[in-house]
């Protein structure tokens, strides 16, 4: 069964569900799943709908027909097909826990994607890439060489037709120019429960503050550091007996599972961005 996935958002008003579902029915499509959410404070309507692609029509015809409906009802939407795996690039520095988790889930088929390359600003994790037989590119950062380094990385991403960039503890701040090339298609893991402890050394600052819970946050990267729309978060309880090194070790497990869950949600087309917020459908 081939499926098409629509992510739709528009201003809320009566009859939207009926109009959209009637469109698919009248065109002979079977609706396999429909999830909706209404933000009453912002008067916005969000929908995720999956249909069975019938054989009597083409994808081009579906796209043209739905575009007419979208214009009529002012629907902002994106359309995806489940038989088209996305190309994912993973960017890392020196720590491997998030990288390992992503690679293992991809290898086991839990993430519907291809990973054609791993990029790092250090050579430390090349052996990990070798174990999974994925090409590894080291693009070191040298003084006054940030622009040139990013252009090299962007060239690699373009050549491999990358759809999604995952920053799996890539410890460099991306330029605005870089982020603009992949709007809402760069996922970063921050080792803190945002919006608390933005920037560097969050575990040290959390320990100094005496927090009783630490967490991690996966979000879309934007020009504003650690301010992008949040996709996934999780926490673990700690106590006064835990020092900063304990917090880092506990945090590793939170980071890897939060990042993988966020990447899975994106790859399964379950995330709609609305301003600084995200609507993440459970299925």
**8 A C-beta contact, residue 187 and residue 227:** no
Is residue 226 part of the annotated active site? The answer reads yes
Could you say which DSSP state residue 125 is in?
Answer: T
- Tokens, residue 233: 């978060």
Burial (Cβ within 10 Å: 0-12, 13-18, ≥19) of residue 253:
middle
Question: Considering 12, 101, 155, 226, which one is annotated as catalytic?
Answer: 226
DSSP-derived letter for residue 112 is -
Paired tokens of 166: 């995952």
Number of other residues whose CB lies within 10 A of the CB of residue 170 = 24
What totals of helices (H) and strands (E) does the chain contain, helices first? 8, 13
Catalytic residues: 226
């Amino acid at each position: 069964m081939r499926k098409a996935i629509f992510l739709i958002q528009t201003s809320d008003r009566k009859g939207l569900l009926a109009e959209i579902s009637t469109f698919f029915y009248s065109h002979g499509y079977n609706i396999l799943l429909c999830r909706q959410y209404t933000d009453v404070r912002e008067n916005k309507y969000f929908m995720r709908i999956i249909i069975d692609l019938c054989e009597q029509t083409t994808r081009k015809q579906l796209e043209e027909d739905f575009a007419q409906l979208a214009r009529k009802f002012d629907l902002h939407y994106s359309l995806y097909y489940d038989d088209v795996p996305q190309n994912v690039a993973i960017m890392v520095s020196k720590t491997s826990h998030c990288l390992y988790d992503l690679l293992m889930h991809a290898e086991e088929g839990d993430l519907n994607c291809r990973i054609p390359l791993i990029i790092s600003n250090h050579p430390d994790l090349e052996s990990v890439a070798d174990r999974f037989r994925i090409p590894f590119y080291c693009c070191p950062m040298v003084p006054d060489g940030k622009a040139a380094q990013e252009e090299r990385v962007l060239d690699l991403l373009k050549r491999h037709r990358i759809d999604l960039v995952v920053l799996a503890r890539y410890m460099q701040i991306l330029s605005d120019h870089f982020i603009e090339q992949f709007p809402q298609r760069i996922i970063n893991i921050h080792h803190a429960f945002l919006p608390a402890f933005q920037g560097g050394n969050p575990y040290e600052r959390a320990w100094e503050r005496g927090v009783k819970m630490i967490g991690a946050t996966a979000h879309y990267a934007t020009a504003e550091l650690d301010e992008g729309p949040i996709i996934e978060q999780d926490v673990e309880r700690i106590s006064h007996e835990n020092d900063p090194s304990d917090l880092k070790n506990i945090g590793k497990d939170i980071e890897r599972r939060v990042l993988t869950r966020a990447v899975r949600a994106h790859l399964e087309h379950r995330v709609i961005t609305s301003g600084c917020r995200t609507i993440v459908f459970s299925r």
